């Protein structure tokens, strides 16, 4: 864990360097598409030193100058399965985005949906030495969180302090400078499979790109598709991607829970392919063109030529009604939604004050999905589209791009993570020069 | 040949799945090349540096051959000669204005221009410097006029004094600059004579003394600078008026007033010493001195010394 902790710190420094250069790339590695956006930051500082919320909710500090998307290859269930193929897909996306932007990018922030995210809620307490909370105290209370056994071969992807409490006052965003005796904090930690992260790092290295940050796509699509009051009051974002469906629960503008269902649009496609005995590409075309989840009488009469290339007349001239296609798709979509419901129930989503659920991602474009989802997930379901950001092409404003757009916002305004805070002085190795420096800095 | 399968409207064409497109992914090399190309300095180097390099290389190779260089030089020289030697640029005549015949000849000798000559070859500044070096020239103006004339307009220095010194007899102007040597003082009897070391540096004072010496002018022989400090006025009959170094004009005016009242200078004096303002002194000529003593009954002691 210390290894990734150091990696994350290094990535944060790289991100800062990239901000100073003003150009950074966003890479959304999904199971069905690889998208690359190139952001240009207007001010070198990245707009972080602005007081309060800036114009356009602080998004005017960057604009998208290059965007490209390509069919994903070698990614299954949101994880890199074939390194070479994925590398080629990333190269394609990055190259065409660079061509559009006419700049070279070296730093990239990536997100992925797979790797079996698990989230943990951590709590820590610290008795303040003097009654004023200092930065060191924040670092110490974060260090005091007892980390559960996250299992072999897993790494921490996100570790965000979501709440600070001082004595009996809870809900403090920034406790520094406040007066009290006992500081406690809640930390949301999200762990993923280490091998997936290693593969991603290796893959980007082979593309001559430097990784400046990583995020879970469930988290970043929540950032982009939940509106501000939903994030504040509590809402769940279900990002229905190609290979996996990410779930993130937001409360008080922090992600407090995240999970993923390892099913997505690709499974619907493969169901159609199996059910109709057609190739996957045809099945994908039928799904996007004629797909749905509610059959009506009209659909019985709408016949779809599914064709074929076998040379057999009977097989090549087959026709199915749209009802049949819907009949194949609906159980799988229901299964995905029910699975998501189960995950949310397990996380205690029904105890939240607001039960808003937002569906986003490419697979949420199935016609009639909101009606079906309302039956399974509750009445307060809406389809979400990502926030509009400056310079984003029209083609990239659909729900399939919510994680890419969310990653842009994440790049512009990163959430403070555990590794952004100083290491408490006690944690430095004894006799370290750094420790001595730290002591001097803190005491004078 | 007509396809055997029936062509149905609408869906028939779309039924056949499009053949899988070739993978559009760039190769690693192409990817790297494109990223390299996006570096600003690489672009600048290729867009500006490479053409410059090629051009410089080509010119260098062409000029590395000696006969080619010679041919180029010859061509250039030919061209410039042709242009220079056009009649429009030729100077055929040297015209000198405002100079006495002697000076005219001196200027022509100093310039020593081989005419006709192209005006593009003429160095007017050098010619002007040569003319200005002549002492008799106060200022000169050299220009090429249309019609192939080199016009030299000269302002001569005006001789104001004749200065006799150890080196000879010179004409000097009002600023003390020597103009020319003359054979004898009699050549320019119209000009006043000055003499003595450093006389040329105190010309202005001499001029002031002469101006105020009005009644003495008929008797004036000249002015002598004494010890580069003060002036003596030399009159005929070997009379001298020794002027002070400070304010000589006032002293002279007092003497003239005295002379007009009592005709001092008409008497047999050797000199009038005005050097001490409070005590002017007269020196009698030897004969008058002896006569005065005799009249007063003073017998001078004869001395062998």
pLDDT tier, B260 (very low <50, low <70, confident <90, very high otherwise): confident
The pLDDT of B121-140, averaged and rounded, is 83
Q: Which of A147-156, A157-166, A310-319, A334-343 has the largest mean confidence?
A: A334-343
| A158 belongs to a structural domain | yes
Helices (H), A112-165: 135-143
Same domain, B172 and B265: yes
The CATH number covering residue A145 comes to 3.30.1490.110
User: What integer best gives the mean pLDDT of chain A?
Assistant: 84
**Smallest Cα–Cα separation from A191: which of A421, A411, A418?**
A418
Name every chain B residue with its beta carbon within 8 A of the beta carbon of A281.
17, 20
| B9 belongs to a structural domain | no
Name the residue with higher pLDDT: B76 or A349.
B76
| A167 belongs to a structural domain | yes
Cβ separation A104–B39 shorter than 8 A: yes
Cβ separation A91–B20 shorter than 8 A: no
Same domain, B188 and B226: yes
The residue of chain B nearest to residue A208, with distances taken between CA atoms, is B32
Same domain, B166 and B292: yes
CA distance A102 to chain B (A): 7
| Percent of chain A as helix, strand, coil, to the nearest 5 | 45, 25, 30
Taking the C-alpha atoms of residue A56 and residue A53, their distance in angstroms, rounded to an integer, is: 8
Taking the C-alpha atoms of residue A45 and residue A23, their distance in angstroms, rounded to an integer, is: 12
Decide if pLDDT at B71 tops 90: yes
Cβ separation B24–A307 shorter than 8 A: no
Cβ separation B25–A92 shorter than 8 A: yes
The pLDDT of A409-434, averaged and rounded, is 71
Name every chain B residue with its beta carbon within 8 A of the beta carbon of A208.
31-32, 35
CB distance B226 to B197 below 8 Å? no
Q: What is the pLDDT of residue A339?
A: 93
Among A58-62, A153-157, B191-195, the range scoring the smallest mean pLDDT is A58-62
Same domain, B113 and B212: no
| A329 belongs to a structural domain | no
Cβ separation A98–B38 shorter than 8 A: yes
The pLDDT of A140-157, averaged and rounded, is 83
Helices (H) and strands (E) in chain B, counts: 10, 14
Name every chain A residue with its beta carbon within 8 A of the beta carbon of B30.
95
CB distance A266 to A284 below 8 Å? no
Same domain, B167 and B292: yes
Same domain, B228 and B273: yes
Taking the C-alpha atoms of residue A218 and residue A215, their distance in angstroms, rounded to an integer, is: 9
Residue A171's CB is within 10 A of a number of other CB atoms, namely 8
Q: What is the pLDDT of residue B271?
A: 87
CB distance A300 to A321 below 8 Å? yes
Of B16, B28, B35, the CB nearest to A309: B16
Decide if pLDDT at B28 tops 80: yes
Q: What is the pLDDT of residue A430?
A: 59
Q: What is the pLDDT of residue A21?
A: 81
Distance of CA A322 to the CA centre of its chain: 34
The residue of chain B nearest to residue A307, with distances taken between CA atoms, is B15
The pLDDT of A65-72, averaged and rounded, is 89
Among A47-56, A301-310, B215-224, B294-303, the range scoring the smallest mean pLDDT is A47-56
Q: What is the pLDDT of residue B21?
A: 59
CB distance B45 to B54 below 8 Å? no
The residue of chain A nearest to residue B7, with distances taken between CA atoms, is A317
Reduced to 3 states, what is the DSSP secondary structure of residue A314?
A: helix
**Smallest Cα–Cα separation from B277: which of B304, B250, B238, B297?**
B250
CB distance A168 to A103 below 8 Å? no
The CATH number covering residue B93 comes to 3.10.20.310
Residue A269's CB is within 10 A of a number of other CB atoms, namely 25
Beta bridge partners of B139: B155
Q: What is the pLDDT of residue A55?
A: 45
Taking the C-alpha atoms of residue A388 and residue A390, their distance in angstroms, rounded to an integer, is: 7
CA distance A107 to chain B (A): 13
Residue A229's CB is within 10 A of a number of other CB atoms, namely 11
Secondary structure element (H or E) that encloses residue A330, with its range: helix A322-347
The region that residue A56 occupies, defined by phi over 0 for left and psi between -120 and 50 for alpha, beta otherwise, is: left
Taking the C-alpha atoms of residue B188 and residue B182, their distance in angstroms, rounded to an integer, is: 8
Cβ separation A98–B20 shorter than 8 A: no
Residue of B9, B16, B24, B25 to mutate, testing the A interface (most A Cβ within 10 Å of its Cβ) = B25
Cβ separation B31–A95 shorter than 8 A: yes
The CATH number covering residue B286 comes to 3.40.50.11690
Cβ separation B17–A282 shorter than 8 A: yes
**Smallest Cα–Cα separation from A215: which of A179, A233, A239, A231?**
A239
Name every chain A residue with its beta carbon within 8 A of the beta carbon of B31.
91, 94-95, 207-208
Q: Which of A42-56, B110-124, B224-238 has the largest mean confidence?
A: B224-238
ipTM: 0.70
Taking the C-alpha atoms of residue A37 and residue A392, their distance in angstroms, rounded to an integer, is: 9
| A6 belongs to a structural domain | no
Cis ω for the linkage preceding A404 (within 30 of 0): no
Name every chain A residue with its beta carbon within 8 A of the beta carbon of B14.
305, 307
Reduced to 3 states, what is the DSSP secondary structure of residue B57?
A: helix
Name every chain A residue with its beta carbon within 8 A of the beta carbon of B17.
279, 281-282, 285, 307, 309
Residue of A83, A90, A91, A309 to mutate, testing the B interface (most B Cβ within 10 Å of its Cβ) = A91
pLDDT tier, A56 (very low <50, low <70, confident <90, very high otherwise): very low
Of B12, B14, B24, the CB nearest to A92: B24
Q: What is the pLDDT of residue A54?
A: 47
Decide if pLDDT at A45 tops 50: no
Strands A118-127 and A210-216: unpaired
Same domain, B189 and B118: no
pLDDT tier, A46 (very low <50, low <70, confident <90, very high otherwise): very low
| B113 belongs to a structural domain | yes
| B5 belongs to a structural domain | no
Same domain, B184 and B213: yes
Taking the C-alpha atoms of residue A145 and residue B3, their distance in angstroms, rounded to an integer, is: 74
CB distance A112 to A216 below 8 Å? yes
Task: Indicate the burial class of A224 (C-beta count within 10 angstroms; 0-12, 13-18, 19 or more).
Answer: buried
Residue of B15, B21, B44 to mutate, testing the A interface (most A Cβ within 10 Å of its Cβ) = B15
CB distance B236 to B250 below 8 Å? no
**Smallest Cα–Cα separation from A218: which of A233, A235, A200, A232?**
A235
Query: For tokens 């000669």, what's the residue?
Result: B81
Query: For tokens 């750094």, what's the residue?
Result: A434
Decide if pLDDT at A169 tops 90: no
Cα-only R_g, chain A: 23
Cβ separation A281–B34 shorter than 8 A: no
Name every chain A residue with its beta carbon within 8 A of the beta carbon of B26.
91-92, 95
Helices (H), A156-207: 194-206
Taking the C-alpha atoms of residue A287 and residue A278, their distance in angstroms, rounded to an integer, is: 12
CB distance A289 to A366 below 8 Å? no
| A136 belongs to a structural domain | yes
Reduced to 3 states, what is the DSSP secondary structure of residue A429?
A: coil
Same domain, B104 and B223: no
| CA dihedral of B97, B99, B101, B105, whole degrees rounded to 10 | -80
| A123 belongs to a structural domain | yes
Name every chain A residue with its beta carbon within 8 A of the beta carbon of B25.
70, 88-89, 91-92
Cβ separation B15–A279 shorter than 8 A: no
| Percent of chain B as helix, strand, coil, to the nearest 5 | 45, 25, 35
**What percentage of chain A carries pLDDT values higher than 90?**
21
Of B8, B31, B38, the CB nearest to A91: B31
| A43 belongs to a structural domain | no
The pLDDT of A178-184, averaged and rounded, is 86
Taking the C-alpha atoms of residue A394 and residue A400, their distance in angstroms, rounded to an integer, is: 12
Taking the C-alpha atoms of residue A334 and residue A60, their distance in angstroms, rounded to an integer, is: 40
- Of the residues B140, B156, B172, the one at which a domain ends: B156
| A169 belongs to a structural domain | yes
In which domain, by residue range, is B214 found?
161-296
CB distance B282 to B272 below 8 Å? yes
**Smallest Cα–Cα separation from A373: which of A234, A194, A247?**
A247
Same domain, B165 and B291: yes
Cβ separation B35–A88 shorter than 8 A: no
Extract the tokens encoding A412: 């512009």
Of A91, A103, A313, the CB nearest to B38: A103
Strands A235-240 and A356-360: parallel
Taking the C-alpha atoms of residue B176 and residue B188, their distance in angstroms, rounded to an integer, is: 17
Same domain, B135 and B196: no
Q: Name the domain count of chain A.
A: 1
Among A52-61, A158-167, A368-377, the range scoring the smallest mean pLDDT is A52-61
Taking the C-alpha atoms of residue A217 and residue A30, their distance in angstroms, rounded to an integer, is: 9
Taking the C-alpha atoms of residue A344 and residue A249, their distance in angstroms, rounded to an integer, is: 8
Decide if pLDDT at B14 tops 60: no
| B69 belongs to a structural domain | no
Of B14, B17, B34, the CB nearest to A279: B17
Taking the C-alpha atoms of residue A151 and residue B156, their distance in angstroms, rounded to an integer, is: 113
Decide if pLDDT at A47 tops 50: no
Name every chain A residue with its beta carbon within 8 A of the beta carbon of B28.
91
Secondary structure element (H or E) that encloses residue A377, with its range: helix A369-377
Name every chain A residue with its beta carbon within 8 A of the beta carbon of B34.
95, 98-99
Name every chain B residue with its beta carbon within 8 A of the beta carbon of A279.
17
| B47 belongs to a structural domain | no
The pLDDT of A18-34, averaged and rounded, is 87
Taking the C-alpha atoms of residue A261 and residue A380, their distance in angstroms, rounded to an integer, is: 21
Same domain, B232 and B115: no
Name the residue with higher pLDDT: B46 or B137.
B46
pTM of the predicted model over 0.90: no
Decide if pLDDT at B16 tops 60: no
In which domain, by residue range, is A128 found?
118-193
- Of the residues B156, B188, B212, the one at which a domain ends: B156
Name every chain B residue with its beta carbon within 8 A of the beta carbon of A92.
24-26
Extract the tokens encoding B170: 């010179």
The region that residue B95 occupies, defined by phi over 0 for left and psi between -120 and 50 for alpha, beta otherwise, is: beta
| B259 belongs to a structural domain | yes
Q: Which of residues 14-73 of B touch A (CB under 8 A)?
A: 14-17, 20, 23-26, 28, 30-32, 34-35, 38-39
- Of the residues B100, B123, B156, the one at which a domain ends: B156
Q: Name the domain count of chain B.
A: 2
Name every chain B residue with its beta carbon within 8 A of the beta carbon of A89.
25
Reduced to 3 states, what is the DSSP secondary structure of residue B165?
A: strand
CA distance A91 to chain B (A): 7
Decide if pLDDT at B279 tops 90: no
Residue A286's CB is within 10 A of a number of other CB atoms, namely 24
Reduced to 3 states, what is the DSSP secondary structure of residue B183?
A: coil
Decide if pLDDT at A376 tops 60: yes
């Amino acid at each position: 864990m210390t290894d990734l902790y150091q990696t994350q710190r290094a990535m944060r420094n790289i991100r800062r360097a990239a901000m100073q250069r003003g150009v950074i790339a966003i890479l959304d590695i999904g199971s069905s598409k690889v998208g690359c956006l190139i952001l240009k930051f207007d001010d070198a500082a990245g707009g972080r030193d602005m007081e309060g919320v800036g114009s356009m909710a602080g998004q005017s500090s960057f604009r998208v100058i290059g965007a490209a998307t390509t069919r994903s290859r070698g990614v299954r269930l949101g994880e890199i399965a074939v390194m070479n193929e994925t590398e080629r897909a990333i190269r394609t996306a990055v190259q065409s985005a660079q061509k559009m932007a006419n700049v070279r990018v070296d730093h990239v922030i990536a997100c992925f949906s797979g790797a079996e995210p698990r989230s943990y809620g951590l709590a820590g307490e610290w008795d303040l030495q003097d009654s004023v909370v200092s930065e060191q105290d924040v670092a110490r209370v974060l260090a005091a969180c007892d980390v559960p056994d996250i299992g072999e071969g897993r790494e921490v992807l996100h570790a965000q302090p979501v709440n600070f409490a001082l004595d009996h006052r809870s809900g403090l965003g920034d406790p520094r400078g406040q007066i009290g005796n006992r500081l406690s904090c809640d930390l949301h930690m999200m762990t993923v499979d280490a091998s997936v992260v290693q593969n991603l790092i290796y893959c980007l290295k082979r593309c001559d790109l430097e990784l400046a940050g990583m995020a879970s796509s469930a988290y970043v699509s929540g950032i982009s598709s939940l509106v501000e009051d939903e994030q504040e009051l509590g809402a769940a974002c279900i990002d229905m991607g190609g290979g996996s469906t990410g779930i993130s629960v937001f409360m008080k503008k922090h992600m407090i829970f995240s999970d993923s269902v390892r099913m997505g649009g690709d499974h619907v496609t493969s169901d159609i392919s199996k059910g109709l005995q057609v190739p996957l590409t045809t099945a994908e075309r039928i799904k996007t063109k004629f797909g749905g989840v509610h059959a009506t009488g009209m659909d019985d009469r709408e016949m779809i030529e599914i064709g074929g290339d076998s040379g057999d007349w009977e097989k090549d001239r087959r026709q199915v009604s749209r009802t049949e296609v819907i009949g194949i798709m609906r159980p799988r979509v229901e299964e995905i939604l029910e699975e998501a419901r189960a995950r949310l129930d397990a996380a205690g989503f029904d105890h939240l004050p607001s039960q808003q659920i937002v569906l986003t991602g490419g697979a949420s474009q199935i016609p009639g999905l909101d009606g079906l989802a309302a039956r399974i997930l509750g009445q307060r379901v809406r389809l979400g589209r990502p926030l509009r950001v400056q310079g984003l092409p029209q083609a990239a404003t659909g729900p399939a791009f919510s994680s890419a757009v969310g990653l842009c916002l994440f790049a512009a305004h990163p959430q403070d993570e555990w590794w952004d805070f100083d290491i408490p002085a006690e944690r430095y190795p004894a006799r370290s020069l750094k420790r001595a420096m730290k002591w001097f800095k803190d005491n004078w | 040949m007509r396809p055997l399968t029936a062509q149905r409207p609408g869906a028939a064409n779309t039924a056949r799945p499009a053949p899988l497109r070739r993978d559009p992914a760039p190769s690693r090399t192409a990817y790297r090349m494109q990223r390299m190309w996006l570096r600003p300095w690489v672009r600048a180097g290729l867009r500006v540096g490479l053409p410059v390099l090629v051009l410089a290389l080509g010119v260098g190779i062409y000029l590395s051959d000696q006969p080619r260089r010679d041919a180029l030089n010859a061509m250039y020289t030919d061209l410039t000669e042709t242009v220079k030697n056009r009649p429009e640029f030729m100077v055929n005549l040297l015209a000198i204005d405002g100079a006495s015949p002697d000076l005219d000849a001196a200027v022509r000798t100093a310039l020593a221009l081989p005419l006709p000559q192209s005006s593009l070859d003429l160095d007017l500044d050098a010619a002007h410097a040569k003319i200005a070096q002549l002492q008799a020239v106060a200022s000169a103006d050299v220009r090429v006029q249309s019609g192939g004339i080199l016009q030299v307009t000269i302002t001569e220095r005006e001789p104001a004094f004749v200065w006799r010194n150890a080196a000879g007899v010179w004409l000097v102007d009002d600023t003390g600059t020597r103009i020319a040597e003359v054979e004898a003082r009699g050549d320019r009897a119209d000009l006043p004579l000055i003499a003595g070391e450093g006389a040329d540096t105190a010309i202005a004072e001499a001029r002031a003394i002469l101006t105020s010496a009005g009644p003495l002018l008929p008797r004036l022989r000249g002015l002598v600078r004494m010890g580069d400090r003060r002036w003596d006025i030399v009159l005929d009959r070997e009379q001298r008026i020794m002027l002070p170094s400070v304010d000589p004009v006032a002293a002279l005016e007092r003497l003239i007033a005295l002379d007009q009242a009592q005709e001092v200078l008409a008497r047999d004096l050797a000199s009038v010493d005005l050097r001490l303002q409070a005590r002017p002194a007269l020196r009698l000529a030897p004969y008058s001195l002896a006569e005065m003593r005799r009249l007063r009954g003073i017998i001078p002691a004869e001395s062998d010394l």
